[in-house]
Amino acid sequence: MEEHRDDIGSRMGMWIFIFTELLLFGGLFLVYAIYRADYSAEFHTAAHELNAFIGALNTVILLVSSATVAMAITAVQKENKKLALILVAITLLMALFFLVNKYFEWGHKIHLGIYPGSELLTKLERGELLFFGLYYFMTGLHGFHIVVGMILLTVVFFKIKSGAINAGSFVLLENGGLYWHLVDLIWIFLFPLLYLLT
Q: What is the pLDDT of residues 108-155, one digit of tens each?
A: 898 888 888 888 877 888 889 999 999 999 999 999 999 999 999 999
C-beta atoms surrounding 122 within 10 Å = 9
Which parts of 78-118 fold into alpha helices (H)?
81-111
Residues 30-88: tens digit of each pLDDT: 999 999 999 999 998 888 889 899 999 999 999 999 999 999 999 999 999 999 999 99
- Can you name the residues that pair with 96 across neighbouring β-strands? none
Q: What is the pLDDT of residue 121?
A: 78
pLDDT of residue 81: 95
Using alpha carbons only, give the angle 71, 75, 77 rounded to the nearest 5 degrees: 115
Contact 195, 55 (CB under 8 A): yes
Nearest to 195 by CA among 22, 65, 53, 97: 53
If one counts the domains in the chain, the total is 1
Task: Tell which residue, 133, 145, 131, has the closest CA to residue 98.
Answer: 145
Q: What mean pLDDT do residues 179-194 have? A: 94
The pTM of the full predicted model, rounded to 2 decimals, is 0.89
Between CA 190 and CA 57 the distance in angstroms is 13
Do residues 113 and 121 lie in contact, with contact meaning Cβ atoms separated by under 8 Å?
yes
What pLDDT, on the 0 to 100 scale, is given for residue 6?
A: 65
Of 164, 145, 158, 71, residue with least CA distance to 102: 145
Domain that holds residue 143: 2-196
CATH number of the domain residue 119 falls in: 1.20.120.80
DSSP element (H, E) containing 63: helix 52-77
Identify which of 60, 97, 64, 70 has the alpha carbon closest to the alpha carbon of residue 173: 70
